[in-house]
Amino acid sequence: MFIKNTWYVAAWDQEVSADGLFSRTIIGVPVLMYRDSGGRLVALEDRCCHRGAPLSVGRREGDCVRCMYHGLKFDPGGACVEAPAQARIPPQARVRTFPVVERHRWIWIWMGDPERADPALIPDTQWLDHPDWRSQDGYIHYDVNYLLIADNLLDFSHLPFVHPTTLGGSEDYATVSPKVDRLPDGVRITRWTLNTEAPAFAQKVREWPGLVDRWNIYNFTLPGILLMDSGMAPAGNGAQEGNREGAIEFRGCQALTPETATSTHYFFAHPHNFSIDRPEVTASIHQSVVEAFDEDRDIITAQQRSLSLAPDFKMVPLSIDAALSQFRWVVARRVEEEQQQAASAATGARPAQAA
């Protein structure tokens, strides 16, 4: 059961080319995305209303798409505008459309009630295309439920254990408890580790003669969006008090989008604002992150296999689980709310009996 009334990241903008047909399954629904002749995004259910064939193996015709099974043609609004040997097209011959918004390199999609799709709710990821920041586009696919990945991102104490040679650094990093603040739709995590070693990925792009003060400050909000201010500065420079002189800074943008109940799309980038004229620095940072996220995927996939053998397994909660417990509670509450709204809507047409 997925949250529907929320913005999911559906794709990097360049994945949907000017004349192609791009298909991706989002919360169990196959979605066809393409651009009309003006470059505007169209998102249709990727399933012909006639016999269920995917439209994405169909053919672009102007701003329309034709199903290449029996030849039905759909306009960008989802209406069937042509059907072979059919004089009158029945009005129910249409496919669902989805609100989509392209913003700062990401394509956001709303899978719920289109009336509620307010673009103002889209999180700000300005660093993905800001001239002062540089990053490369990241995407990996997981064969696990998205909440296991959210758990991972909500507890960075795993860094020195899962990522000792990439993002991790020394194990003292894990001994610090982060500050966790509840947000309306998620949590805010503030983690400062003082006098610690610079992690390997940072040592590859800068010399660090001594220890550093390191921070990871991020919001993790519905449906699974991580926006992070992170970095490190020479220890004792006063970074925690606001002095970022000599620091390197990042604005990590990450998004989990469930594909199905057992698979997940993971979009990410790790913008930096130093050495932005040196592509090899951007490439090095990106490569470190990709390696680290492969490490995450290995352990999380192993965890998923282990859990699938033991459906009754009860996890023992620890203090490091504070943030993930809160986020799971936020998810559960939102799912429950949507179910209650759906139930109310289903009975809403009945006359009130006792009124």
Q: Where along the sequence are the contacts to a second copy (CB under 8 A)?
A: 25, 28-30, 46-47, 49-54, 57, 66-72, 83-86, 90, 92-93, 151, 155, 157-158, 160-162, 171, 174-177, 260, 298-299, 302-303, 305-307, 309-310, 313, 315-316, 318-320
The residue type found at 60 is: R
Query: Going by C-beta distance under 8 Å and a sequence separation of 6 or more, which residues neighbour residue 319?
Result: 177
Cis peptide before 223 (omega within 30 of 0): yes
Strand 59-61 to 41-45 pairing: unpaired
**How far is residue 69's CA from residue 20's CA, in Å, rounded to a whole number?**
18
Q: Which one, 162 or 217, has the nearer CB to a second copy?
A: 162
Nearest to 155 by CA among 317, 333, 287, 271: 317
In the complex, the smallest distance separating the C-beta of residue 192 from a second copy, rounded to whole angstroms, is 13
Cα(182)–Cα(327) distance, integer angstroms: 9
Q: Which is nearer to a second copy, 135 or 193 (by Cβ)? A: 193
Q: Which is nearer to a second copy, 241 or 313 (CB)?
A: 313
- Contact in structure between 9 and 255 (CB atoms under 8 Å): yes
Question: Minimum distance between the CB of residue 94 and a second copy, rounded to whole angstroms?
Answer: 8
| Residue 212 beta carbon to a second copy: minimum distance, rounded to whole angstroms | 19
Question: In terms of CB distance, is 120 or 346 closer to a second copy?
Answer: 346
What is the C-alpha to C-alpha distance for residues 154 and 182, in angstroms, rounded to an integer?
A: 13
CB of 103 to a second copy, least distance (A): 28
* Smallest distance from a second copy to CB 241, Å: 23
Length of the chain: 355
